[in-house]
Amino acid sequence: MEGNCFNQTVFLFTLLLAIAASSVRGHSTRVGFYSSTCPRAESIIKSTVESHFKLDPTIAPGLLRMHFHDCFVRGCDASILIDGPNAEKTAPASQFLKGYKVIDDAKFQLECECPGVVSCADILALAARDSVVLTKGTSWAVPTGRRDGTVSKASDTDGNMPGFQDTVDVLKQKFAAKGAHTIGTAACEVFSYRLYNFTSTGADPSINPAFVSHLQALCPQNRDGSRQIALDTGSADRFDTSFVANLREGKGILESDQRLWTDDLTKKFVQRFLEVRGSLGLSFNVEFGKSMVKMSNIEVKTGTMGDIREVCSKVNEY
């Protein structure tokens, strides 16, 4: 079980794609793909995301995480949206995903505006960008022109998604084979093992001792494991770099997050995000935008590959 591990998603996009070249294969997407065939496509998606965000701000991390899950399984082809008893969305790693209704609403409006033109995969990629902007994060130009996949299997998620107990070496392998978090939450049951009996003397020693007490108060032993805790302490609802500072202070909620500060290679990059931008410093917003473009082009289907689904949750029948 992963919990709503949005912070790991966002920060690892940026960090690990900065370390290793991603394997972006066969893409021919471009910015402005729908400029003549559906000029209002991006504005319709943006307004749809905004209207849902006003009612429920948690759809922002939900949509970004959904895009991440989609791209890491069969590439960025909207296969995560397909319904079915054994589809990707039924896998344990996908159980906390949210935002499906946002995509469905945007697709319905687009089918009225320009039927059969805009893919579900592109809607998801654009909605992820718009979600980041709504949480005061950076914007970036999203290349479009993806087509939708027609296959969705829960079994394809096995071993592909980064896990909250993965070592840094395993995380780097998974990102290099396919190709970031500053808002969001995780359930107590996902990380509480670090708070009690992690070692013979108690909690995980990599956690700041004062922070251990704070987390134990939020997640008492053998109590409600489904309670959601902010991953980015002090800045849970804002897209910013405080998550990086939290790692330095021993306040990484997930074990795999905190390892980014204890691993020699990744620590160098974390430190660069903490430095003033210049010869050594890295801009989180700039690097995040670059890494999102890389990730969104993983194994995309373009041209005559795939399909343009009429309903995002259903494969077209011919």
- Of 161, 186, 220, the last residue of a domain is 161
Looking up residue 48, the CATH number of its domain turns out to be 1.10.520.10
Q: Quick one: 272 and 288 in the same domain? A: yes
Among residues of the chain, what percentage have pLDDT more than 70? Answer: 78
Q: Quick one: 260 and 289 in the same domain? A: yes
For 200-223, write each residue's pLDDT tens digit.
Answer: 888 999 999 999 999 999 999 988
Q: Quick one: 118 and 60 in the same domain? A: yes
Q: Quick one: 156 and 200 in the same domain? A: no
Q: Which of 317, 308, 318 has the alpha carbon at shortest distance from 115?
A: 308
Neighbours of 313 (CB within 10 A): 18
Average confidence (pLDDT) over 107-125: 98
Show the tokens assigned to 240: 């910013």
192 appears as a binding residue in the annotation: no
Looking up residue 187, the CATH number of its domain turns out to be 1.10.420.10
Q: Is 284 inside any structural domain?
A: yes
Q: Is 304 inside any structural domain?
A: no
Cα(302)–Cα(222) distance, rounded to whole angstroms?
Answer: 49
pLDDT band with cut points at 50, 70 and 90 for residue 161: low
Q: Quick one: 123 and 210 in the same domain? A: no
Q: Is 301 inside any structural domain?
A: no
- Of 112, 133, 161, the last residue of a domain is 161
**pLDDT of residue 235 exceeding 70:** no
Handedness of CA 304, 176, 137, 64 (dihedral sign): positive
- Measured at the CA of 187, the angle between CA 288 and CA 204, to 5 degrees, comes to 85
pLDDT band with cut points at 50, 70 and 90 for residue 294: confident
Q: What is the pLDDT of residue 95?
A: 79
Q: What is the pLDDT of residue 149?
A: 96
Show the tokens assigned to 170: 């395993």
Q: Is 59 inside any structural domain?
A: yes
In this structure, are residues 180 and 288 in contact, taking their beta carbons and an 8 Å threshold? Answer: yes
Q: Which domain holds residue 139?
A: 40-161
Cα(136)–Cα(134) distance, rounded to whole angstroms?
Answer: 5
Mean pLDDT score of the chain, rounded to an integer?
Answer: 82
**Three-state SS at 44:** helix
70 appears as a binding residue in the annotation: yes
Q: Quick one: 104 and 180 in the same domain? A: no
Q: Is 216 inside any structural domain?
A: yes
Phi, psi of 225 (to 5 degrees): -75, -10
232 appears as a binding residue in the annotation: yes
224 appears as a binding residue in the annotation: no
Q: Quick one: 141 and 206 in the same domain? A: no
122 appears as a binding residue in the annotation: no
276 appears as a binding residue in the annotation: no
Q: Is 257 inside any structural domain?
A: yes
Q: Quick one: 179 and 113 in the same domain? A: no
Output 233 or 4, whichever has higher pLDDT.
Answer: 233
Q: Enumerate residues 6+ apart whose C-beta is below 8 A from 6.
A: 61, 64, 65, 181, 183, 184, 185, 231
- pTM score: 0.70
Active site residue 27: no
- Measured at the CA of 9, the angle between CA 94 and CA 272, to 5 degrees, comes to 170
Q: Quick one: 238 and 275 in the same domain? A: yes
In this structure, are residues 68 and 132 in contact, taking their beta carbons and an 8 Å threshold? Answer: no
Report how many domains make up the chain: 2
**pLDDT of residue 177 exceeding 50:** no
* Beta strands 228-230 and 185-187, pairing class: antiparallel
**pLDDT of residue 43 exceeding 60:** yes
The residue from 27, 52, 67, 69 that is catalytic is 69
In this structure, are residues 300 and 76 in contact, taking their beta carbons and an 8 Å threshold? Answer: yes
Q: Is 26 inside any structural domain?
A: no
Cα(209)–Cα(214) distance, rounded to whole angstroms?
Answer: 9
The CB-side HSE value for 295 (13 A sphere, CA atoms) comes to: 34
Cα(233)–Cα(171) distance, rounded to whole angstroms?
Answer: 23
Cα(315)–Cα(260) distance, rounded to whole angstroms?
Answer: 40
- Of 127, 161, 195, the last residue of a domain is 161
Q: Which of 236, 41, 64 has the alpha carbon at shortest distance from 133?
A: 64
Q: Is 242 inside any structural domain?
A: yes
115 appears as a binding residue in the annotation: no
R_g of the chain computed on alpha carbons: 19
Q: Quick one: 144 and 209 in the same domain? A: no
240 appears as a binding residue in the annotation: yes
